[in-house]
Amino acid sequence: MSNKVQKIAVIVSLVIAIGGSLTFLMTWRNIGFTQDFMTSWLSSFALCILCIAPIGGVIAFMVNRLVNMLFPSLSSMKQNIVFGLIMAVLMESIMAVVTTVNLHGFLALKDLIHFWIATFMAALPAGLAISVLMSLVIKPKLAAFWAKPA
């Protein structure tokens, strides 16, 4: 398998694992394990992938530059942790909006905010744990992997 294909496979695997698990939690929080759970979860997951995949890389690039600019004196590990925590909050916020709208439709602003907060908070502990794991273990390995010539 070529190096380029491997890089794409790694990114796709991470997006599926992280996005799938977080949208699973968000869908469960919104509707529980009902008869429609699988269909609802898969549609939320697909919509989140369609929303996040195109903008996730851009957001990550911008957040990484911002963290490096604002915290130049922090060690690389601490910068990675700050990066991971910010990314978790931003990406989960987007996923929570997409999941909420997918499951409940466009609601009055008060109801949308209520469901969004519940959805976001349900997945936040998992998202934060994933972000620390990504920051300390996976991101450094990915950086070395991506540095290999294609």
What does the pLDDT read at residue 53?
A: 74
Nearest-angstrom CA–CA distance, 87 and 64: 9
Range 5-16 average pLDDT: 84
What does the pLDDT read at residue 27?
A: 93
Nearest-angstrom CA–CA distance, 86 and 21: 19
27, 37 Cβ separation under 8 angstroms: yes
Domain extent, residue 136, equals 3-147
* pLDDT tens digits, one per residue of 79-138: 988 998 999 999 899 999 999 999 988 878 899 999 999 999 999 999 999 988 888 888
Model confidence band, residue 140 (pLDDT cutoffs 50, 70, 90): confident
pTM for the model: 0.82
| CB atoms closer than 10 angstroms to residue 64 | 17
150 pLDDT more than 70: no
* pLDDT tens digits, one per residue of 24-73: 999 999 899 999 999 999 999 999 888 777 788 899 899 999 999 999 99
User: What is the domain count for the chain?
Assistant: 1
